Amino acid sequence: MKRRFLFLAAALSTVLALGLTACNGDTANGEEHTHTYGEEWTYNPEYHWHTPDCGHNLEISDKAEHTFIDDVCVVCGYQKANGLDFILNADENSYTVTGNDNTVKEITIPAEYYGLPVTEIGNSAFRNYENLEKVNIPNSIEKICDLAFYGCEALTEVVLPQSLTTLCRCAFANCTALKSVNLPDSLTTLEYSVFDGTAYFGNLENWTDGVLYIGRHLVRAMNVISGHYAVRENTLTVAALSFDGCGKITEIELPNTVKYIGTLAFKDCYSLNKIALSDSLGCLGALAFHGCENLQELTLPASLTKIGMFALFHFTQLNYLGTADEWETVDKDEYSVSENCEIVYIDRVA
């Protein structure tokens, strides 16, 4: 009897041990399983935790924010990147970088962080870094967010990578010493006041007949322009607010290379009565023709994929070089075009 008891006890010990260390699911009889966890910490830039070693990988333990002393977490040993913080993006496949030390003179942003690409520079990431003289931006960055380098008064040069697609408002505004800039052909969204208050923006030698181009992008036009204006050949984008207040312009000619017209691009061009949109235009920004009450006729290309809020709201009739089915696929909301506006569909073959 004693021997049988010992045998049962040993068997029970074995079952319990296996259940605690090598379980791949719930027990067959539905009893609650007790997870076991490895001793080593798992971590990302924000948290640390223990991962189970019993096969239930979705269950974690002891998750908490880091406790930093001299940029090292005293709990798990995670060490911050020098002067930089990284935030996992919503897609969980990339990171956004921001700063945490406004005394640095040079910043080198890595292309990868913990095996994932760094694709964005966050809102106000390095805002008012008054000592920053140089920034190295990798060819993984796709977006530079609002005010990212605003007020970096010692920054003299910036080289933007060919991976960049979106440059948000005031990204380099008031970088007063910034005298050398570029805009890559990869750029598809160019918001307003990106370089306002920089040495480059203030140097009239960089302007052509009252218009500032950087690469293949139209950044800003002076309000002294009048009559007919032809945008430079091979231009890709017309920035937000670029023709703001150009009340003497009556006609604008766009080359067929223009793919993007930004928010409020032609704001208060109240004399404008004619504009031919590019056959490759994809995005027409919100309020693009705000205050252009003399512009009553407009033909929209079939290439359009997005129309921003109130972009075409004052029109009572619009020509569209496509079918009704194609028009329905354009990304727009109830305020992009007035519900009373008549859409005239034009056969492109005719």
**Single residue among 154, 186, 202 that ends a domain in this structure:** 202
User: How far apart (Å, rounded) are the C-alpha atoms in residues 220 and 161?
Assistant: 22
Residue 162 shares a structural domain with residue 271: no
295 lies in some domain? yes
How far CA 249 is from CA of 148, 253, 273, in Å, comes to 33, 11, 9
The whole-number pLDDT of residue 48 equals 86
Query: Which residues make beta-bridge pairs with 37?
Result: 52
Residue 129 shares a structural domain with residue 156: yes
Residue 134 shares a structural domain with residue 227: no
Residue 252 shares a structural domain with residue 188: no
Q: Please list, residue by residue across 127-145, b when 16 or more beta carbons sit within 10 angstroms of its beta carbon and e when fewer do.
A: bebeebbebebbebbbbbb
Residue 70 shares a structural domain with residue 99: no
For the chain, the domain total comes to: 3
Residue 180 shares a structural domain with residue 98: yes
304 lies in some domain? yes
327 lies in some domain? yes
Residue 163 shares a structural domain with residue 237: no
The helix/strand count (H/E) of the chain reads as 3, 27
Give how far the C-alpha of residue 231 lies from the chain's centroid of Cα atoms, to the nearest Å: 26
20 lies in some domain? no
Question: Model confidence over 86-107: pLDDT tens digits?
Answer: 999 999 999 999 998 999 999 9
Residue 185 shares a structural domain with residue 323: no
264 lies in some domain? yes
Residue 10 per-residue DSSP state? H
Cβ neighbours of residue 325 closer than 8 Å, sequence gap 6 or more: none
29 lies in some domain? no
Residue 151 shares a structural domain with residue 257: no
Residue 346 shares a structural domain with residue 266: yes
How far CA 148 is from CA of 16, 73, 217, 270, in Å, comes to 56, 27, 20, 33
Residue 137 shares a structural domain with residue 193: yes
The whole-number pLDDT of residue 349 equals 58
Q: Residue holding tokens 């049988």? A: 4
Q: Are 172 and 193 in contact (CB under 8 A)?
A: no
Token readout for 153 is 């008064």
Strands 84-88 and 95-99: antiparallel
Token readout for 142 is 């796709």
Give how far the C-alpha of residue 234 lies from the chain's centroid of Cα atoms, to the nearest Å: 24
Domain CATH number, residue 212: 3.80.10.10
99 lies in some domain? yes
288 lies in some domain? yes
User: How far apart (Å, rounded) are the C-alpha atoms in residues 160 and 178?
Assistant: 13
Angle value at C-alpha 144, between 138 and 150, nearest 5 degrees: 110
In the chain, what is the straight-line distance between the N-terminal and C-terminal CA atoms, in Å? 100
Cβ neighbours of residue 1 closer than 8 Å, sequence gap 6 or more: none
- Give the CA count within 13 Å in the CB-facing half-sphere of 177: 12
User: How far apart (Å, rounded) are the C-alpha atoms in residues 228 and 47?
Assistant: 58
Q: Residue holding tokens 């490759």? A: 280
Residue 197 shares a structural domain with residue 220: no
Per-residue pLDDT of the chain (350 residues; tens, 9 = 90+): 444 434 334 433 433 333 333 444 455 555 666 777 777 887 776 788 888 877 666 677 888 988 888 667 888 877 666 789 999 999 999 999 999 899 999 999 999 998 899 999 999 999 999 999 999 999 999 999 999 999 999 999 999 999 999 999 999 999 999 999 999 999 999 999 999 999 999 999 999 999 999 999 999 999 999 999 999 999 999 999 999 999 999 999 999 999 999 999 999 999 999 999 999 999 999 999 999 999 999 999 999 999 999 999 999 999 999 999 999 999 998 899 999 999 999 976 54
**Single residue among 149, 180, 202 that ends a domain in this structure:** 202
Q: Domain range for residue 61?
A: 36-80
How far CA 14 is from CA of 23, 31, 33, 65, 122, in Å, comes to 13, 17, 15, 37, 53
- pTM, to two decimals: 0.78
**Single residue among 27, 52, 80 that ends a domain in this structure:** 80
pLDDT, mean over the chain = 88
